[in-house]
């Protein structure tokens, strides 16, 4: 599956650009310091009004929503988040004003996320950040693991993590990835004790609990991008000139071209598995030939009677002269 297939013009319109000089999201306590080269997860504490010493089936029933941020961009992580609360409290989410994070500006999203953290006695949440490197590795390995499968498994793991905290989840609402019917059936089979599971298109605009999850995902991703630490030399970490990160954004494409190394490709913020990056590498990268030399008398196997333990010398050469790599 190709990442570019996940983006469209409306995604580009709804996304905001992290340019230098803008007011970036402040560093959030749940985000680890350092480069985002590995995927990670965070679970909030279980809200006091949700927790109980009773058996799980007798604990207050809760509703949970799932949404993501960053599925389509060629830059940065993809973040999945869940938000949950008591079923009896779900109307409070409407009163607070939760809506799809894509139709809110950055200030509105930050305020709503602060509300979620402030109301921690009755709202809980969790998030998984899939790093660009892990996304690329998953989609480019021999046994391909496409973006839909990654999304489904991430969602399942997040729901399970909340259940493992002892929360009595009885209703789940999910913004669909792929066919709503097959995805809903998959989740229902995986979680037979959850009474109601709804997978729907535009769930973030239909269900406030999904909107709350959308806020958690979007604010987390924005903060990671805003505070991204480039490990590659020669890139100014104070500049955010990569635009929205979507393949259709001219600023994003210009940034990719500027930071493409002809041998090693792109910085770690980039998803190598997107067709945008593949095409740029094909046009601007150099061909590299890795040669295996045949065995010589001076390199005979140390264990001639055991074919499985032969040691073969390997040399490598680059078939084209090029400039030293910058990173």
Mean per-residue pLDDT for 90-94?
91
User: Is 175 in contact with 69 (CB distance < 8 Å)?
Assistant: no
pLDDT-based confidence at residue 9 (cuts at 50, 70, 90): very low
Residue-level pLDDT at 299: 53
Q: Is residue 293 part of a domain?
A: no
Within-domain flag for 285: no
Task: Tell me the pairing of strands 169-175 and 78-86.
Answer: unpaired
- Mean of pLDDT values over 77-100: 92
Average pLDDT over the chain reads 82
Distance CA 247, CA 274 (A): 9
pLDDT for res 304: 52
Report how many domains make up the chain: 1
Going by pLDDT thresholds of 50, 70 and 90, the confidence category of residue 227 is: confident
* pLDDT over 80 at 69, yes or no: yes
Q: Has 68 been labeled as part of a binding site? A: yes
Most confident of the ranges 170-174, 224-228, 305-309: 170-174
Residue 299 lies in a domain: no
The percent of residues in the chain predicted with pLDDT above 90, rounded, is 53
What does each C-alpha distance from 135 to 17, 72, 138, 156, 232 come to in angstroms? 22, 12, 5, 17, 19
- Where does the pLDDT of residue 232 fall: very low under 50, low under 70, confident under 90, or very high at 90 and above? confident
Domain assignment present for residue 251? The answer is: no
Is 175 marked as a binding-site residue? yes
- Does residue 274 form part of some domain? no
Task: Give the residue-averaged pLDDT of 248-263.
Answer: 91
> Span 232-252, mean pLDDT?
84
Task: Identify whether 284 is part of a domain.
Answer: no
- pLDDT in the model for residue 115: 96
Q: What is the pLDDT of residues 274-301, one digit of tens each?
A: 888 889 988 888 887 877 766 555 555 5
What was the pLDDT predicted at 29?
84
Phi, psi of 248 (to 5 degrees): -85, -5
pLDDT in tens, 138-180: 988 888 889 999 999 999 999 999 999 999 999 999 999 888 9
Residue 256, in any domain of the structure: no
In the block, residue with structure tokens 């279980």: 46
Task: Kindly indicate the confidence band of residue 52, based on its pLDDT and cuts at 50, 70 and 90.
Answer: confident
| 117 assigned to a ligand binding site | no
Q: Would you say residue 256 has pLDDT above 60?
A: yes
Q: What is the CATH number of the domain that holds 120?
A: 3.30.420.10
At 24 the pLDDT is 58
Determine the structural domain holding residue 179 and report its residue range: 15-226
Is 271 a domain residue?
A: no
Ordered DSSP codes for 11-64: HHHHS----TTS-PPPPPTTSPSS---S-EEEEPPPPTTT--SS-GGGSPPEEE
* pLDDT exceeds 70 at position 305: no
């Amino acid at each position: 599956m190709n990442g570019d297939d996940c983006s469209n013009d409306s995604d580009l319109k709804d996304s905001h650009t992290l340019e230098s000089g803008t007011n970036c999201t402040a560093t959030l306590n749940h985000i680890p310091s350092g480069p985002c080269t590995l995927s990670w997860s965070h679970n909030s504490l279980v809200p006091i009004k949700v927790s109980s010493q009773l058996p799980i089936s007798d604990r207050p029933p809760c509703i949970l929503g799932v949404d993501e941020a960053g599925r389509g961009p060629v830059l940065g992580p993809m973040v999945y988040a869940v938000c949950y609360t008591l079923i009896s409290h779900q109307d409070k989410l409407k009163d607070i004003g939760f809506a799809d994070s894509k139709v809110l500006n950055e200030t509105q999203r930050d305020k709503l996320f602060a509300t979620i953290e402030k109301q921690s006695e009755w709202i809980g949440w969790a998030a998984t950040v899939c790093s660009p490197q892990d996304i690329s590795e998953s989609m480019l390995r021999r046994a391909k693991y496409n973006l839909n499968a990654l999304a489904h498994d991430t969602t399942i793991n997040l729901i399970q993590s909340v259940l493992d905290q002892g929360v009595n989840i009885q209703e789940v609402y999910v913004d669909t990835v792929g066919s709503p019917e097959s995805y809903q059936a998959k989740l229902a089979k995986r979680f037979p004790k959850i009474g109601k599971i709804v997978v729907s298109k535009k769930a973030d605009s239909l269900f406030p609990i999904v909107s709350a999850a959308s806020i958690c995902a979007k604010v987390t991703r924005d903060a990671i991008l805003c505070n991204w630490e480039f490990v590659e030399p020669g890139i100014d970490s104070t500049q955010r000139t990569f635009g929205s990160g979507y393949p259709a954004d001219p600023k994003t494409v210009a940034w990719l071209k500027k930071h493409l190394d002809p041998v090693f490709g792109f910085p770690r913020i980039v998803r190598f598995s997107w067709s945008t990056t593949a095409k740029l590498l094909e046009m601007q990268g150099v061909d590299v030939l890795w040669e295996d030399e045949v065995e010589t008398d001076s390199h005979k196997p140390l264990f001639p009677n055991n074919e499985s333990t032969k040691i073969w010398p390997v040399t490598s050469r680059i078939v084209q002269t090029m400039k030293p790599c910058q990173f």
